[in-house]
Amino acid sequence: MSTKLSRRQEEILEFVASFKEENDYSPSLREIAEAFELSSVATVHQHVSALEKKGYFNKGWNVGRSIELTPIAIEKLQRMKAPPSNVVPLERKQAWAAADTSGDSVALPLLGLIAAGSPIEALENKESIVVPSDMVGRRETYVLKVRGNSMIGDGILDGDYVVVEKRDHARNGETVVALINNHEVTLKRFYIEAEGVRLQPANPAIAPIFIANGDFAIQGVMIGLLRKLRH
């Protein structure tokens, strides 16, 4: 049998790997279905069975949460995560959060501006932003300043600061830092659809962005919001 995966199978492989990394156990079929907004667990079972037959999963018979990644799956994930050679990583080559997180606050790097309207190029900035320590993610965390009003329905205003956990995957409905055309970033809600990816604004006056090809990557997921009150 061919080991080539469909797009949905690749997405499920990535989801299972990230879920196991975050939770130290495998997702159930129901959790996979909910993550992809699938009404039928049977559909998920078909994809998981196909991944098992192609050598990417080992799964205990009639046992829940028993999906294990095989060496072939790990190798495949590493290839999938490798960035294109012409993509400049959003992060700077420096320490991320302050080493001392024992206090009530942590200094995170402010990497620049991100559009909450139409995509713009991220701007590097040498400043740092102090945030509450409980706002720091379990992974590398950084801050971006919002420009635009396309996310006002979610309470994200022009001039706000969003705290972002660096990740290359997200669940449907999460607000992500999306890299488009290998050099522009935007802040939108993320949804996987049959024809590709939808980046949804939270402003009825602004149209969503639909992406049907490979010119897209997730660079982080929003986990916090900061606002400077003006008097």
188 is an active site residue? yes
49 is an active site residue? no
Query: How many other β-carbons are positioned within 10 Å of the β-carbon of residue 69?
Result: 18
The closest alpha carbon to 219, from 153, 161, 140, belongs to: 140
Catalytic choice (81, 150, 166, 228):
150
The closest alpha carbon to 198, from 164, 172, 167, 162, belongs to: 172
In contact, 126 and 106? CB cutoff 8 Å:
no
**Backbone CA torsion sign across 69, 74, 142, 211:** negative
Catalytic choice (54, 76, 145, 188):
188
3-state SS class at 70: coil
Rounded Cα distance between 34 and 217, Å, is 22
Rounded Cα distance between 14 and 187, Å, is 22
Alpha helices in 58-199 (DSSP H): 71-81
**DSSP, residue by residue, 170-191:** --TT-EEEEEETTTEEEEEEEE
In contact, 44 and 32? CB cutoff 8 Å:
yes
Active site residues per annotation: 150, 188
